[in-house]
Chains A and B, each alone.
Chain A
C-alpha cells in the first residue's frame, strides 16, 4: 500500500513538472518527485516493528541503515538543485517579467 502511495506521489510530481506553465510550480513538481523517491528508498529499508539503527545493548530488530544514509546525500543534492533552479528563475523573471514558460518562449523567439 505504501509503495502505491509513493508511486502516486511520484506521478503527481512528474505531472507537475510537465503540465504546469509556471516555472516555480515546475520546480515544486521536481521536488515532489524527488521526495517520492526518497520515501521509496526509506520504505525499501523499512520493516514493521523495527527501530532506528542505533546500535546499543538490547537492540536487535533494526531497519536497514544504508538507504537512509543514501537519502541524506540525495536530499542535499536536491536542495542544491532547487537553489540553483530558483536563482535561474529569478534571473529569467528579471529579464522577461513573467514566470509563464510559454510566454517566455514566445518572448525569446522574438528577440
Chain B
C-alpha cells in the first residue's frame, strides 16, 4: 500500500511515454485516447483504494524513493490533505479528458502534454521534498505553457509567453528561497524543515521572513492572488476549453495548497493575517473587471481569481470552521468552475463566437447545456440549494470577527451574481433583441446567424457537463457529510462549532445578495454603466507592470510584519 503515491505519479508519466512511442507506429488516434483514458481511470481506482488507509485508519502513506530514508532521500507523503487534492485533480482531469475526446484538433501531442501535466500535478501534491516540489512545479508549468499555446493563435501565444515570463521569474525566486532554506537548516525534506527552520531555533527573523516570502510569492504566481494574477485571465481564456477547466479547476488550487502546506509546516502564523487581507482584495477586485468583460471565457477566468479570493480569505481567518469552509469552497469551485468552462466551451464549439453581445437565445438550441450552466451559475453565485451557497455560508460565518473582509466578500458575491446574470442572458434572452449601441450588426442579423451556423454538440461533451451539474446539486443538498468529512478526516480536527446551513438568516442573506446583484446588472446595462465598464476593460496592465508587481508584492510580504507592529 505504501507505494500508492509513487504509482499516482508514474502511471500518467508512463502513459505519456507510451503515447510518444505508439505515435511512431502511425496507429489510429483512438488507441492514444484509449491509453490516456485508461491511465486516468487506473489512477482513480488507485486513489479510491487508498481511502481505507488514509481516511479511515488515518495513516500517512510514506514511500522512500530508492530506499533512502527521510533526511537524506526524497520521500513521497500522502496524508489526508494530499489525498483530497490528488483525488480532486484526477476527477477533474478525467472529466476534461472525456470532454476533449471528440474534438478533432487535438493530436497525440495534446494527450501527451495533458498526461505530463497530470503527472506534474500529482508530484507537487505528493512530494515531501521542497526541491522535488520545485521540479514538479516546473514540469507542470512547462506542460501548461505548451497547452495554453496549443491553438497557435496569436493571442494564445502571447498569453502563454506572458505566463512563462512571470512564472519563470517566480520560479527563480522560489529556487532562491529553497537555497536560503538549505543554508539555514541543511535539509530539503519538509518534515526536517519544520523541525529546524523556525525563528526560535537560531534563524534570524528577517531571514525567516525573507525566505518564506520568496517561496510564497514564487508559488503564489501560480495560485494567482492579487497582485500576481495578471497573467491568468488571458492564459485561462485562450487555452483550449478542457485545459481552461483543468487550469482553473485544479492547478491554481494545487499551488495554493502547496503554500498552505509550507505555511503549516514552518508555522508562519503571521502570514495568515496577511492572507486575510490579500484574500478579501482578491475576491473583490477581479469581479469589477469581470463585469466589464465581453469575452465569455475571459469573464469566467476573472471569476476564477475572485473565487480563489474566497478560498484564501477563509484560509487567512485560521479557525477550524474557516479552514473547513476554505477546503469545501475549493472542492466546490473545482466542480462548478469546470462545469462553467465546459458549457461555455460547448457554446463556443457550437457557434464559433466568443463575444457575449453577439450570442442570444441559445436556450432552445441547447437546453441541456443551458440548464447545467444555470446550475453552475447559481452555485457560483451562492444561491440555495447549490453547493456554492453552503461553502459561502461557512466562509461568511467564519469571518464574523473580521468586519471589513466580511463586507468585501459580500460585495464580491453581489458582483458575481451580476456578472453571471449577464452571462446567463446568452441563453435566456430572446433571439431577436433590439440592436443597442454595443454591437456593429443590424437587427435580424443575429437570428440568421444562429439558425444557419449552429453545430451539434457531441455526446462526450454533454456527459461531463451533466454529471458535474448533478454533483453541484447533490453536494449542496447533503453538505453535512462533506463538512464532517473535511474537518474530521482531512484537517483532523473536530468541528465543535455547530452551524445551521439552511437557516432562514442565511437564505434571506443570499436572496438579498441576489436582488442586489440583479440591480447591479440593471445598472451595467444602462448607458452610464456601459461607459464605465468600457473604461474599466481598457485598464489592463501590460507585461512589464505585472512583472514589476511581482517584485513589489515580494517587498510587501517581507516588510508587512514590521508595518503591522508599528
Partner-B contacts on A (CB < 8 A): 10, 13-14, 17-19, 21, 23, 26-27, 30, 33-34, 37, 40-41, 44, 66-67, 70, 73-74, 77, 80-81, 84-85, 88-89, 91-92, 95-96, 101-102, 104-105, 108, 111
Contact = CB atoms under 8 A, between A and B. Distances in A.
A84 B183 contact: no
Contact of B179 (A21, A44, A81, A105): A44
Given A37-B175, A81-B138, A18 B551 contact: yes
B176 A85 contact: no
Q: Which 3 A-B pairs have the closest CB atoms?
A: A95-B154, A88-B161, A77-B138
Contacts of B169: 14, 17, 30, 33
B172 A33 contact: yes
B81 to A, nearest CB: 26
B142 interface: yes
5 contacts: A19-B544, A30-B168, A33-B172, A34-B175, A44-B179
Given A85-B165, A88-B149, A101 B542 contact: yes
Contacts of B149: 88, 91
Interface residues of B, number: 32
A18 B547 contact: yes
B85 interface: no
Nearest to B154: A95
B142 A74 contact: no
Chain A CB within 10 A, most for which of B154, B165, B172 = B172
B274 to A, nearest CB: 22
Interface in B138-155: 138, 142, 145-146, 149, 152, 154-155
B433 interface: no
A73 B165 CA distance: 20
Interface string B163-179: 01100110010011001
A36 to B, nearest CB: 8
A34 B182 contact: no
Nearest to B182: A44
Q: Is the interface of B mostly helix, strand, loop or mixed?
A: helix
A101 B135 contact: no
Contacts of B145: 84, 88
A17 B142 contact: no
A111 B155 contact: yes
Contacts of A18: 544, 547-548, 551
B450 interface: no
Nearest to B538: A109
Nearest to A23: B161
A102 B542 contact: yes
A99 to B, nearest CB: 11
B158 A108 contact: yes
A74 B175 contact: yes
A2 to B, nearest CB: 13
Nearest to A41: B179
A84 B146 contact: yes
Contacts of B160: 88
A45 B142 CA distance: 29
B7 interface: no
Given A18-B548, A41-B182, A85-B168, 9 more contacts: A14-B169, A17-B165, A33-B172, A41-B175, A88-B145, A91-B152, A96-B154, A101-B543, A101-B544
Contacts of B542: 101-102, 105
Given A17-B165, A18-B544, A44-B183, A80 B142 contact: yes
A77 B135 contact: yes
A41 B160 CA distance: 29
B235 interface: no
Contacts of B172: 13, 30, 33-34, 37
B131 interface: yes
Nearest to B175: A37
B176 A37 contact: yes
Contact of B142 (A44, A67, A81, A102): A81
Contacts of A70: 131
Chain A CB within 10 A, most for which of B146, B544, B548 = B544
Interface string B332-371: 0000000000000000000000000000000000000000
A104 B212 CA distance: 35
A70 B175 CA distance: 10
B319 to A, nearest CB: 38
A40 B152 contact: no
A102 B543 CA distance: 9
Contacts of B161: 23, 85, 88-89, 92
A44 B188 CA distance: 14
A23 B188 CA distance: 34
B461 interface: no
Contacts of A105: 542-543
Nearest to B153: A95
Contact of B157 (A34, A81, A91, A111): A91
A98 to B, nearest CB: 12
B168 A81 contact: yes
A31 B490 CA distance: 40
Contacts of A73: 131, 135
A102 B201 CA distance: 48
Nearest to A40: B179
A108 to B, nearest CB: 6
Contacts of B175: 34, 37, 41, 74
A82 B548 CA distance: 20
Interface in B186-220: 188
B314 to A, nearest CB: 33
Contacts of A41: 175, 179, 182
